[in-house]
Structure 1
Amino acid sequence: MLRAHHPTTYIAKIRDTHGKTQHLPHRILPTIRSYFATLYDLPTPETDAGRTLHSQKIHAYLSQHVTRQLTPETALLLDAPLTTEELSDAVKSSKTGKCPGPDGLPLQYYKRFAKILYPRFLVAFNAILEGHTIPSQTQTANISLIPKEGKDAERCDSYRPISLLNCDLKLYAKILATRLTPYVPGLIHQDQVGFVAGREARDNTIRALTIMHRATRQREGLLFLSTDAEKAFDRVNWEFLFATLSQVGLGPNLCTRIRALYSDPTARVCVNGIYTEPFKIRNGTRQGCPLSPLLFVLALEPFLSSVRASPDIRGIRTGRTKHRVAAFADDLLFFVTHPETTLPNLLKAFEVYGNLSNLKINFAKSFLLNVSMPRSKAQSIRPNFSIQWAEDRIKYLGIWLTSDHTLMFRDNFAPMLATISTDLKAWNYPHISWLGRVHAIKMNVLPRILYLFQTIPIDLPRTFFRDLQMQIWNCVWRGSRPRLKFSILTLPNARGGLAIPDFAIYHTACHLQCILEWAKPRKLKAWGVVEQDEAGIPLTVLPWLPKLQGLRRVRDLHYTSATLRIWHRVMRVLDLSSDPSPLTPLLCQASTPTSYTPSIFTDLLQTQTPRIRDVFRDQQLASLTDILGDRAVTFLRYFRYQQIASFIRSIPQRTKLTRPLTEFEKQCMTADLLPHGVSYLYELLQRSNRTPPPAEVYGQLGDDVRNYSVRHTMGENLRPYTPLLGLIKNTGDGI
């Protein structure tokens, strides 16, 4: 039932290359096979001279536009023999329950017979470097067709081909992908956030929203160009791909191992449960292979580099940074200024790259959005380009981008709320248990809402959370009177609740995640660079400034100020920090001279961001000699020290400056980004926002309550799970 909104995969009819609609199965199969056989066998130069010239052009292009390479030491490390530990990790990290490949062997088979299979697999995998190849039977794949939402179901190109590979081949590819993954961020610019470790879709959406708001506020002429790539993964030219891998510095052994995946692959398409005849694959990275996403972004990076390097492709500048493109794999969004010059050169860059790599952009399905360009100028350039113009918004990475930031809620959150309301009503069947409805909310509703919270960092009205909670409430209780408080049901299972999402807390957690990322100046993401350029102040100190001073600095920055307002709203209530805080900066204070810069105190305190905590030792203001250590006391250092001492004496409630750091403040001071940050912050906020659960009542009532006889005498009311268990018994719902 939860999958009811997914389009059916049954193909009742299809149009062939002549535009004729085929209805009969024996006509549909060859039509689809012909399309995909052609897609995976794109034309290449037929003569030796043509192939040589094509290779020369590829190497010349890559020599010019590949600007990042692995070190020889890293390449040597990646070339090492495959190990049992890597194979074991690949098996353990792979999800079970997936559809097997043509050999029919599921992942459970490899887990069950690991001791027998591991040694033989390693011998086979490492033998590839000795000239052995992967058997052709292992390289075959079954292609399942997934219809694209909103596309014409009668067209062959409206289906996304997903390759179901044999598990042994996927394990081999996963080992290679796991080896390569940590080094990909160093090879790929921050413009590309797709399939790169530590980067997310929200990195580009927040960046795009901030740039749109800046261009509108500054009245800079800006267009957004969103391009549509036709079968981008399936068209990749293998010669270009492997030349790119060599150019970025991958060693010969790793390149040989990757080439083995593409030595003799074949595939057959599953159409309505029937398989077509197999056909050979001669281009593309197969969707379904663990290594394919990394290979694709590496192959696309030279093009993005050429866009950044071209002086004739004009982007928008914030501070010292120029922004031209944002990419999530093949979803490209260009920031276009001076379109009369930029657009022709951008189209030329696409043509040059496409001739070498097979990338094909369908400009008839691409869109231009006028963000802040004068209407008369936009109208004058329209006839010059065969690109559609969006009226007032475009969709990028699942969200609607509009130049008017006041419409972001209307265009994104309001429709999502209506869709969720419809879905929840559709699940209101008596045979779905109480816990079943709870799990449906956690698995289906939460990810959709959470994606919007992270990609669109705005301050939402209370009515949104009230309406959403009411819909969730009606679904959980099927419209009847609630028998438990919402605050109890949102508690974690270990504390007597059902872990129903508290969306207001999740929304706050998403904004606090932004603040945690502000606190890492050396790992500031592209969207953070834009916000910092606009704020004119290091983001790492922004949350620790006095409230009015901080908000005044970002009052014109819609998305930054939204995060800062939420921070000041919850920081003291939830004990995340205090005002003042030990992390209060020694720069940019309203009470200090305007000439203060970080470098003034950097010499004295030897830290990039001088804070009050840096001048305290054992809860006392440190002496100048303690701060300097072996360094000499100069007049300038003594003067700076006296400035700091005077500033600290002027702060009210100085006792808060010497308190221990809170858990949130400690996370802000760590050097690394927090993995699974939203989940961690949600749990932190829940702990700060909740009264003790029933499981802790024993401690409050005294030691005697822990005695079984007393507990038995008082009944089961003190058991942490009793309210929920009793409710399940009373309602008769199944689990």
Structure 2
Amino acid sequence: MLLATVVTLPKPGKPPTHCVNFRPISILNVDIKLYAKLLASRVAPLLPKLIHPDQTGFVQERQTCDNTRRLFDVIDLANRSGTPGLLLSLDAEKAFDRMHWGFMRQTLEAFQFPALFIQSVMALYSTPSAKVLSMGFSSPTFPITNGTRQGCPLSPLIFVLALEPLASHIRLNTFISGLPTPAGEQKLALFADDILLYLSTPETSLPPLFNLLEKYGRLSYYKNNVGKTQALPLHIPGPSLVDLKTQYSFDWRSDSIKYLGIFLTKNRSSIVKHNYLPLLQSIEKQLQSWHSVELSWLGRMASLKMSILPQILYYFRNVPIFLPAHILLRLQKMLFAHIWKRKPPRISATTITTPRELGGLGFPDLLRYYRASLLAQLLAALHSSEPPVWLRLENAVIAPNSIHDFMWYDPLPRSKLEGILPSSYLSVLTWRHWGRPLLKPFRLLSFAPLSFLSRLSPDLNLASWTLQGVTLVQHLLAPNSIKLFPDLVQEFGISFNEIFTYLRIKHILLTHRIGAIPDKDMSAFHRLCLGKKNLRKPLSLCYRCLVSPNTERKLPYMLRWEKDLNLSFSREDWFYATSSVYRLSKSTGMREAHLKLLYRWYLTPARLHHISKGANVCWRCSTEKGSLLHVFWSCPKISSYWADIHGLTKLCTALDIPLQPETYLLHFIPITIQIPPRGLISAIFGVAKLVLASHWNSTSTPSLSEVLTRLDSICKYEEMFASAHNTLPQYQATWEGWISYRSSKGSSSSP
């Protein structure tokens, strides 16, 4: 049960001829993983209280961007003051694999975990063994005597607990000096074993630091690789820097240092050069390697969303900078070029990036994702149960004001912005330009923190109210009025001595006509701004709000279809028509056929006439103009084909669906039809269009037998998919009419 199979993953960019250049990942028994996950679920909620905010790895409500933003702030403050310092990124050699079990047990005891729980954890490390699987060959089983397994759900949580004593001693050691700031000394940032220190007097700080690392290593087996430890000097005089380089064989850097995949640069002017330009080159190289892979255009879109978008979002979230428009434009163009294989696009960028529920394809709009990442980081930090260190630091720099205050001033008082850090200014401007408009139709101050009222009335002291949990203006409001003072006393424990303060607050609220926001009228973004809990994925939420246009505006393809059909449809009608494609079938080919027609993908004779001045008549009948509607519907040579489709639909569903182009081409199926028949009807219409498109630019006409053959294949595919996903009842309800029809016909390819 405690036997693990270790698979080895080569580290990128390093020669695979040495064992140290492979990353061991333990493939564990499922029972062990369940047991470890159970223990991890009990430890995880405790970590925010046990682990200092300097550590952001594997701790709930903490993220990598908390560290990187803080470090950019520290560099900005160091540049302002000109304080000599050293950024030092420690390289731990096999940190997870070297952890001493005895030290691990003592750490758990020091944190006062119950003896029974410690015993349960150490059961995982009683007599473990492993074997290495490499290139298909398995090594003999060997015992394991130290280390935490990479692949175990509990392992990273235990590791950050075991690393906390080292971090605590570094913080408390007065001989190791960090950067003095208005928020206190900034010295240490950790993400699991990735440790970065800022030392303001490296000459006197480095010796006690390495003495401490040596003592910790003797107890825990931690080993720092000095040769791979990166060092970036800031404002250190030349002679002192020469002495430091002589004494310490670090990997000395002159302009930037890499931490958590992000380059921390000496100056903000070079952030784009060191971070986004390599990102562009990396993505371009990756897309070139994919060029020969045969994927559908929907498949290429999916691969970009799964593989490339997370890379871009990581930089958006971790590099707080005003990103030049040309960088975003170049990134977006690269993605679009890959979708269309560097050919002219068939669908407009507006349609591609519009959300699916509004008739588009939901492909990422990078500009709005960039804005959403900034908004999500700001809102998550403001309403976190424990504000991240960077927020406390940035607020201390502009005290007595705060970032939260600047979000609500109208207009923004420029005189109060003196000294604000670039990261703070970026967040404030992003909020004011793109976040505040999303709060409509409600008044802005309805979402403001209670402390902001003291900015409207400078001598108003609200500290005691905030300590009692009244942190938002909304806490004072009832559905149709301001809460009575006795109700606030009972709800929050406000002192009766605060009655005069209450009257002043009430006067401010009435003066500015601030009212409560009814729950039924509150959007998900409103809830996020009010700090409502249980709202997951704030980045996705902010992006959806930014990317959703006015719901009354129709996309260009919708207007062209309405013009061709001489009809007008509501947004609700278009919603049902466009969303039907994702219920049409699990087959990508079926979905593509419908989307190509819906988005007017095809180069019809009429369209080609505008491009190359060729003939604009239909290739099939050679008499009428070859518009999209004519080629797919009104051409006399396919009228019998659509009549056969109408008859087939009636035989399979016992429903007489009117023979109208908006129904058969765009799936405007009457809402009176029940759900199971609607699925089969959509499938029949989808296959009919797929068969028709297979005769593109040909004088031949499609036949009903082709439709029957393809429907048989689709039906079989749907059955296999339903069987694999345990959804056979839904499959049978949808395809019952088709199965009965084919059974009565003996499954022949003729009608």
The reply to whether TM is greater than 0.5 is yes
Contiguous gaps of at least 5 residues in structure 1: 1-137
The percentage of counterpart residues that share the same residue type is: 31
One-letter identity of the residue aligned with 2:507: A
- Structure 1 position 361, deviation (Å): 0.2
Residue 666 of structure 1: which of 521, 527, 536 is its match?
A: 527
Structure 2 CA distance for partners of 1:730 and 1:184, relative to 1, 3 Å? farther
The structure number with the bigger radius of gyration is 2
Does the CA contact (< 8 Å) of 1:543 and 1:550 recur in 2? no
Tell me what 1:14 maps to: none
Question: Does 1:411 pair with 2:274?
Answer: yes
Rounded to whole Å, the distance in 1 between the matches of 2:61 and 2:695 is 46
One-letter identity of the residue aligned with 1:683: R
Question: Does 1:153 pair with 2:101?
Answer: no
Residue 348 of structure 1: which of 183, 192, 211 is its match?
A: 211
Question: Does 1:561 pair with 2:425?
Answer: yes
- Structure 1 position 624, deviation (Å): 8.0
Rounded to whole Å, the distance in 1 between the matches of 2:135 and 2:243 is 49
What TM-score do you get using the length of structure 2 for normalisation? 0.70
CA deviations 1:573-606 (Å, max 9, x no partner) are: 444677753234565689856555543xx56997
Secondary structure of the equivalent of 2:189?
A: strand
| Equivalent residues in 2 for 1:157-236, closer than 5 Å | 157-236=20-99
Question: Does 1:465 pair with 2:413?
Answer: no
- Structure 1 position 341, deviation (Å): 1.9
- Structure 1 position 365, deviation (Å): 1.0
Rounded to whole Å, the distance in 2 between the matches of 1:179 and 1:732 is 62
One-letter identity of the residue aligned with 1:541: D
Does the CA contact (< 8 Å) of 2:96 and 2:148 recur in 1? yes
Rounded to whole Å, the distance in 2 between the matches of 1:732 and 1:173 is 58
Moved more, 554-563 or 619-628: 619-628
Rounded to whole Å, the distance in 2 between the matches of 1:173 and 1:523 is 27
Tell me what 2:674 maps to: none
- Structure 1 position 142, deviation (Å): 2.1
Structure 2 CA distance for partners of 1:593 and 1:432, relative to 1, 3 Å? closer
Tell me what 2:121 maps to: 258
Secondary structure of the equivalent of 2:54?
A: coil
Q: How many residues end up aligned between the 2 structures?
A: 589
Structure 2 CA distance for partners of 1:625 and 1:708, relative to 1, 3 Å? farther
Tell me what 2:507 maps to: 645
Rounded to whole Å, the distance in 2 between the matches of 1:626 and 1:329 is 46
Does the CA contact (< 8 Å) of 2:454 and 2:461 recur in 1? no
Question: Does 1:425 pair with 2:425?
Answer: no
Tell me what 1:677 maps to: 538
Secondary structure of the equivalent of 2:6?
A: strand
Tell me what 1:712 maps to: 660
Contiguous gaps of at least 5 residues in structure 2: 560-567, 578-654, 669-681, 697-713, 718-751
One-letter identity of the residue aligned with 2:259: Y
- Structure 1 position 570, deviation (Å): 1.3
Secondary structure of the equivalent of 1:326?
A: strand
- Structure 1 position 521, deviation (Å): 6.3
Rounded to whole Å, the distance in 1 between the matches of 2:386 and 2:483 is 31
Secondary structure of the equivalent of 1:582?
A: helix
Rounded to whole Å, the distance in 2 between the matches of 1:343 and 1:444 is 41
Question: Does 1:307 pair with 2:307?
Answer: no
Secondary structure of the equivalent of 2:446?
A: coil
Q: CA-atom RMSD, angstroms?
A: 3.9
What TM-score do you get using the length of structure 1 for normalisation? 0.71
- Structure 1 position 659, deviation (Å): 6.5
- Structure 1 position 621, deviation (Å): 7.0
Rounded to whole Å, the distance in 2 between the matches of 1:201 and 1:641 is 44
Does the CA contact (< 8 Å) of 2:6 and 2:132 recur in 1? yes
Structure 2 CA distance for partners of 1:555 and 1:569, relative to 1, 3 Å? farther
One-letter identity of the residue aligned with 1:175: L
Residue 487 of structure 1: which of 329, 346, 350 is its match?
A: 350
Rounded to whole Å, the distance in 1 between the matches of 2:310 and 2:528 is 25
Does the CA contact (< 8 Å) of 1:585 and 1:609 recur in 2? yes
Secondary structure of the equivalent of 2:7?
A: strand
Structure 2 CA distance for partners of 1:625 and 1:605, relative to 1, 3 Å? farther
Rounded to whole Å, the distance in 2 between the matches of 1:730 and 1:229 is 60
One-letter identity of the residue aligned with 2:339: V
Residue 156 of structure 2: which of 293, 311, 314 is its match?
A: 293
Does the CA contact (< 8 Å) of 1:181 and 1:294 recur in 2? yes
Rounded to whole Å, the distance in 2 between the matches of 1:708 and 1:604 is 66
Rounded to whole Å, the distance in 2 between the matches of 1:378 and 1:372 is 9
| Equivalent residues in 2 for 1:519-558, closer than 5 Å | 519-520=382-383, 522-536=385-399, 537-549=401-413, 552-553=416-417, 556-558=420-422
Residue 445 of structure 1: which of 297, 301, 308 is its match?
A: 308
Does the CA contact (< 8 Å) of 2:291 and 2:341 recur in 1? yes
Does the CA contact (< 8 Å) of 2:450 and 2:470 recur in 1? no
Does the CA contact (< 8 Å) of 1:143 and 1:267 recur in 2? yes
Structure 2 CA distance for partners of 1:689 and 1:444, relative to 1, 3 Å? farther
- Structure 1 position 640, deviation (Å): 7.8
Structure 2 CA distance for partners of 1:552 and 1:462, relative to 1, 3 Å? farther
Structure with more contact order per residue of length (Cα contacts < 8 Å, sep ≥ 6): 1
Rounded to whole Å, the distance in 2 between the matches of 1:708 and 1:473 is 42
Does the CA contact (< 8 Å) of 1:586 and 1:644 recur in 2? no
CA deviations 1:517-542 (Å, max 9, x no partner) are: 34326421122221222221344333
- Structure 1 position 351, deviation (Å): 0.5
Does the CA contact (< 8 Å) of 2:45 and 2:60 recur in 1? yes
Rounded to whole Å, the distance in 2 between the matches of 1:708 and 1:509 is 48
CA deviations 1:50-99 (Å, max 9, x no partner) are: xxxxxxxxxxxxxxxxxxxxxxxxxxxxxxxxxxxxxxxxxxxxxxxxxx
- Structure 1 position 507, deviation (Å): 1.1
Structure 2 CA distance for partners of 1:182 and 1:728, relative to 1, 3 Å? farther
Does the CA contact (< 8 Å) of 1:520 and 1:673 recur in 2? no
- Structure 1 position 549, deviation (Å): 2.1
CA deviations 1:415-447 (Å, max 9, x no partner) are: 212221222233223722112211110111101
